Protein backbone atom coordinates (compact mmCIF):
# COMPACT_ATOMS: atom_id res chain seq x y z
CA UNK A 1 0.00 0.00 0.00
CA UNK A 2 1.35 3.42 -0.85
CA UNK A 3 1.97 6.09 1.74
CA UNK A 4 -0.80 8.24 0.21
CA UNK A 5 -3.49 5.59 0.58
CA UNK A 6 -2.63 4.49 4.10
CA UNK A 7 -4.02 7.63 5.87
CA UNK A 8 -7.26 7.27 3.93
CA UNK A 9 -7.55 3.65 5.06
CA UNK A 10 -6.88 4.71 8.64
CA UNK A 11 -9.51 7.48 8.40
CA UNK A 12 -12.07 5.07 6.95
CA UNK A 13 -11.31 2.51 9.66
CA UNK A 14 -11.52 5.13 12.41
CA UNK A 15 -14.80 6.46 11.00
CA UNK A 16 -16.26 2.94 10.80
CA UNK A 17 -15.18 2.21 14.39
CA UNK A 18 -16.68 5.50 15.61
CA UNK A 19 -19.96 4.80 13.81
CA UNK A 20 -20.07 1.28 15.26
CA UNK A 21 -19.43 2.61 18.77
CA UNK A 22 -22.10 5.31 18.33
CA UNK A 23 -24.55 2.73 17.02
CA UNK A 24 -23.87 0.45 19.99
CA UNK A 25 -24.37 3.37 22.35
CA UNK A 26 -27.68 4.32 20.73
CA UNK A 27 -28.82 0.69 20.83
CA UNK A 28 -27.91 0.42 24.53
CA UNK A 29 -29.58 3.71 25.48
CA UNK A 30 -32.73 2.76 23.56
CA UNK A 31 -33.03 -0.39 25.68
CA UNK A 32 -31.66 0.60 29.10
CA UNK A 33 -32.98 3.50 31.16
CA UNK A 34 -30.18 5.05 33.24
CA UNK A 35 -32.82 6.77 35.39
CA UNK A 36 -34.20 3.44 36.65
CA UNK A 37 -33.09 2.40 40.14
CA UNK A 38 -31.97 -1.04 38.90
CA UNK A 39 -30.07 0.31 35.88
CA UNK A 40 -26.90 -1.62 35.00
CA UNK A 41 -25.27 1.61 33.81
CA UNK A 42 -22.83 3.01 36.37
CA UNK A 43 -23.30 6.33 38.10
CA UNK A 44 -20.65 9.00 38.45
CA UNK A 45 -17.85 7.88 40.74
CA UNK A 46 -16.70 11.46 41.33
CA UNK A 47 -20.17 12.40 42.60
CA UNK A 48 -20.35 9.22 44.65
CA UNK A 49 -17.11 9.98 46.48
CA UNK A 50 -17.27 13.78 46.75
CA UNK A 51 -20.93 14.77 46.49
CA UNK A 52 -19.95 17.30 43.81
CA UNK A 53 -20.97 17.25 40.15
CA UNK A 54 -18.22 16.75 37.59
CA UNK A 55 -18.51 18.24 34.08
CA UNK A 56 -19.77 14.88 32.81
CA UNK A 57 -22.39 14.22 35.49
CA UNK A 58 -25.73 13.53 33.85
CA UNK A 59 -24.21 12.82 30.42
CA UNK A 60 -25.58 9.27 30.22
CA UNK A 61 -29.05 10.46 31.15
CA UNK A 62 -28.72 13.38 28.71
CA UNK A 63 -27.75 11.02 25.89
CA UNK A 64 -30.69 8.81 26.87
CA UNK A 65 -32.95 11.83 26.49
CA UNK A 66 -31.43 12.67 23.09
CA UNK A 67 -31.84 9.11 21.84
CA UNK A 68 -35.50 9.21 22.85
CA UNK A 69 -36.05 12.70 21.39
CA UNK A 70 -36.53 14.39 24.76
CA UNK A 71 -34.44 17.54 24.36
CA UNK A 72 -35.76 19.01 27.61
CA UNK A 73 -34.47 16.08 29.64
CA UNK A 74 -31.15 16.16 27.79
CA UNK A 75 -30.71 19.87 28.47
CA UNK A 76 -31.68 19.44 32.13
CA UNK A 77 -29.17 16.64 32.66
CA UNK A 78 -26.06 18.19 31.07
CA UNK A 79 -26.32 21.44 29.07
CA UNK A 80 -22.61 21.29 28.18
CA UNK A 81 -23.37 18.44 25.76
CA UNK A 82 -25.21 20.91 23.55
CA UNK A 83 -21.86 22.66 23.03
CA UNK A 84 -19.67 19.57 22.80
CA UNK A 85 -21.81 17.40 20.50
CA UNK A 86 -21.91 19.86 17.57
CA UNK A 87 -18.22 20.69 18.02
CA UNK A 88 -16.95 17.10 17.97
CA UNK A 89 -17.63 16.35 14.27
CA UNK A 90 -16.04 19.68 13.35
CA UNK A 91 -12.92 18.91 15.39
CA UNK A 92 -12.69 15.38 14.00
CA UNK A 93 -13.12 16.58 10.42
CA UNK A 94 -10.46 19.25 10.91
CA UNK A 95 -8.12 16.69 12.44
CA UNK A 96 -8.63 14.44 9.42
CA UNK A 97 -7.50 17.26 7.14
CA UNK A 98 -10.81 18.67 5.94
CA UNK A 99 -10.89 22.45 5.94
CA UNK A 100 -14.26 23.67 7.06
CA UNK A 101 -16.01 26.72 5.63
CA UNK A 102 -15.98 28.51 8.98
CA UNK A 103 -14.35 31.81 9.89
CA UNK A 104 -10.73 31.45 10.94
CA UNK A 105 -11.52 32.88 14.38
CA UNK A 106 -14.14 30.15 14.97
CA UNK A 107 -11.72 27.40 13.91
CA UNK A 108 -8.95 28.86 16.09
CA UNK A 109 -11.34 29.00 19.06
CA UNK A 110 -12.48 25.39 18.56
CA UNK A 111 -8.86 24.21 18.34
CA UNK A 112 -7.73 26.19 21.36
CA UNK A 113 -6.91 24.14 24.43
CA UNK A 114 -7.32 27.24 26.60
CA UNK A 115 -10.91 27.61 25.39
CA UNK A 116 -11.85 24.02 26.22
CA UNK A 117 -10.04 23.99 29.57
CA UNK A 118 -11.61 27.26 30.68
CA UNK A 119 -15.06 26.20 29.44
CA UNK A 120 -14.96 22.82 31.20
CA UNK A 121 -13.35 24.12 34.39
CA UNK A 122 -15.74 27.09 34.56
CA UNK A 123 -18.72 24.81 33.94
CA UNK A 124 -17.48 22.42 36.63
CA UNK A 125 -17.36 25.22 39.20
CA UNK A 126 -20.60 26.88 38.11
CA UNK A 127 -22.70 23.71 38.21
CA UNK A 128 -21.76 23.15 41.85
CA UNK A 129 -22.84 26.63 43.00
CA UNK A 130 -26.16 26.42 44.89
CA UNK A 131 -27.62 29.76 43.74
CA UNK A 132 -29.84 30.64 40.82
CA UNK A 133 -29.04 30.67 37.87
CA UNK A 134 -26.21 28.22 38.50
CA UNK A 135 -28.43 25.68 40.22
CA UNK A 136 -30.07 24.77 36.90
CA UNK A 137 -26.69 23.49 35.65
CA UNK A 138 -26.87 20.58 38.13
CA UNK A 139 -28.24 17.37 36.62
CA UNK A 140 -31.90 16.72 37.25
The pLDDT value given to residue 137: 93
Q: What is the domain extent for residue 23?
A: 14-137
What's residue 100's pLDDT?
Answer: 81
pLDDT digits (tens, 9 = 90+) for 23-78: 999 999 999 999 999 999 998 999 999 999 999 999 999 999 999 999 999 999 99
Report yes or no on 8 lying in a domain: no
- pLDDT score at 1: 47
Q: Is residue 4 part of a domain?
A: no
Domain count along the chain:
1
Question: Is 130 contained in some domain?
Answer: yes
For residue 1, being part of any structural domain is answered with no
Residue 6 covered by a domain: no
Per-residue pLDDT tens for 67-110?
999 999 999 999 999 999 999 888 888 887 888 888 889 889 98
The answer as to whether 37 is a domain residue is yes
Q: How far apart are CA 59 and CA 57, in angstroms?
A: 6
The pTM of this model reads 0.82
Q: What integer pLDDT is reported at residue 47 of this predicted model?
A: 95
Over the stretch 107-127, which tens digit does the pLDDT of each residue have?
899 899 999 999 999 999 999
- 129 occurs within a structural domain: yes
Among 6, 11, 22, residue whose Cα is nearest residue 97: 11
CA separation for the pair 31, 10 (Å, rounded): 32
Spatial contact of 60 and 39, defined as CB atoms under 8 Å apart = no
Query: Can you tell me the mean pLDDT for 1-15?
Result: 66
Confidence of residue 5 (pLDDT cuts 50, 70, 90): low
What sign does the dihedral 79-116-41-51 (CA atoms) show?
A: negative
- Asked whether the predicted pLDDT for residue 19 surpasses 90, the reply is no
Amino acid sequence: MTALRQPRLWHATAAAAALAAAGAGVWLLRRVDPNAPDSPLPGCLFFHFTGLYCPGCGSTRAMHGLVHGDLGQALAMNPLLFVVIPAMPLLIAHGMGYRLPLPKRAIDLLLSGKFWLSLIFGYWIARNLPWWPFSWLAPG
